[in-house]
Chain A
Amino acid sequence: MEGEFERIVLKSPQYHYMMVQLDLFGAKANFDSDLFKNLIVKALKGLHGDVGGSIAVDIIRFEKKSLKSILRVPSIGLVKVWSALTLYSSHNDKPCHFKVSKVSPHLPSLSVNSRDFTSELLLEKV
């Protein structure tokens, strides 16, 4: 079979997707996705004011147990959102840390990490 492919080039993505985990350094807290969203807006307002707070950040997935989530951020606001999450350091007077593990304009790329691929996987016998 001849390889047929179609190349799609995206020059300026509209959205970026971030995989973010909230680390509370061992403290317990009852979070749901609304509270998590509130925290993100609070972080944005804290650093960038009302203009930052108006950036439309959407939570695509949220895991209550590990506090991991996937966010969709408009690409023009990516630097503001990322810096606001980086500098947000306390929640209810307890230290916290937003760990940004992956950022990509393509959502499927958040599911894998090419550095985890092993040579056995690549040389699989058909």
Chain B
Amino acid sequence: MVKFHDLNIARVKDAVAQKHTLRIACRLGYEVVAVTTVLKNGNELTAAPPPIELQLTEEEQQNFQQLSRITVVLSDKTNNSYLGNDKIKSYDILAVQPTTEKSFQVACSELNVDLITFDFSTWLGFHLKHQYVQTALRLGKYFEFTYGPAIRDTTCRRYVFQNTTDFVQRKEGQNTIISSGAEWPTDLRAPYDVANLYPLQ
């Protein structure tokens, strides 16, 4: 049976708000979610906070699996050797978000990561070179983008569509994950609604 995944639900400080978001995700039909901690400065890897798992009611917990995910924002100055850190290994999923062409090349070819994610709410700053994308696909990596910015802000929506169209045309849809990046329950959309956004590209 197909299980719907939402691999990017933003971690917020308020545990009550976080539980509410997870509850809404469960009600919308998602069976696997990943709560994402974002490390904005890659050099603070050693100070990464521990992963969390929130207790929901038993009925909700039955078909609902929570995973922990950490997204590290990479720039040219990030010291990538820390990615093998024990604190990072305590998370279920490791993702990186490259912000420059060099960090994108390193993420595709050298780093041992599961997911390469992008912030499509602004201009990416670099082009996705076909050879790096092919290297990542050969190594079994997945690419991810979020639809949350398109819902939150109408001006970001244009950037999201511009970037995703460019991205999809180069990759022809292989190994792509779409997730919500939801900070609030209002950012979440049901799985079939999200699947219907894809033909727009």
Residue contact A83 to B186, C-beta cutoff 8 Å: no
Chain A 65-97 interface 0/1 with B at a Cβ cutoff of 8 Å (1 = within): 000000000000001001101110100000101
Given contacts A25-B186, A97-B186, A100-B192, whether A83 and B154 have CB atoms under 8 Å apart is no
Q: Give the number of A-B contacts (CB < 8 Å).
A: 36
Interface residues on A, range: 10 to 19
Contact bitstring A28-45, B, C-beta under 8 A = 1, else 0: 000000000000000000
Q: Report the bound CA distance from A25 to B21 in whole Å.
A: 13
- 8 Å CB interface, B161-201 against A: 184-187, 189-190, 192-194, 196-197, 199-200
Which among A46, A82, A89, A99 is the interface contact of B196 at CB below 8 angstroms? A82
The answer to whether B157 has its CB under 8 Å from any CB of chain A is yes
- Within the complex, which residue of A85, A89, A100, A103 is in contact with B186, where a contact is CB–CB below 8 Å? A89
Residue of B nearest to A88 (CB): B151
Q: Is B151 touching A100 in the complex (CB atoms < 8 A)?
A: no
A103 to B154, CA, bound (A): 26
B131 to chain A, nearest CB (A): 32
Q: Tell me the count of chain B residues lying within 8 A, CB to CB, of chain A.
A: 19
Closest-CB distance, A104 to chain B (whole angstroms):
12
Q: In B24-77, which residues have CB < 8 Å from any A CB?
A: none
Chain A residues positioned under 8 Å from B187 (CB to CB) = 89
Contact indicator per residue, chain B 84-96, by CB within 8 Å of chain A (1) or not (0): 0000000000000
Given the interface pairs A79-B196, A83-B197, A87-B150, the reply to whether A95 lies near B190 with Cβ below 8 Å is no
Contacts of A95 in B (CB 8 A): 184, 186
The CA-CA distance from A82 to B157 in the complex, in Å, is 16
CB-nearest residue of chain B relative to A98?
B193
* A89→B200 contact, CB < 8 A: no
In the complex, the chain A residue whose C-beta lies closest to that of B160 is: A87
- Determine the chain B residues whose CB is within 8 A of the CB of A79 once the complex forms: 196, 199-200
B129 contacts partner chain A, Cβ-Cβ < 8 Å: no
Given the interface pairs A97-B186, A100-B192, the reply to whether A89 lies near B197 with Cβ below 8 Å is: no
Of the residues B147, B151, B193, contact of A82 by C-beta under 8 Å: B193
B199 touches A89 (CB 8 A): no
B96 → chain A, closest Cβ, in Å? 27
Give CA–CA (A87, B152) in the complex, Å: 9
8 contacts between A and B (CB under 8 A): A25-B185, A46-B154, A82-B193, A86-B197, A87-B150, A87-B151, A89-B151, A89-B152
A79-B200, A83-B200, A97-B186 given. 4 additional CB < 8 A pairs?
A79-B196, A86-B189, A87-B151, A100-B192
Residues of B within 8 A of A (CB): 147, 150-152, 154, 157, 184-187, 189-190, 192-194, 196-197, 199-200
9 closest pairs, A vs B, by CB?
A95-B186, A86-B193, A89-B151, A82-B196, A79-B199, A86-B189, A83-B197, A83-B200, A83-B196
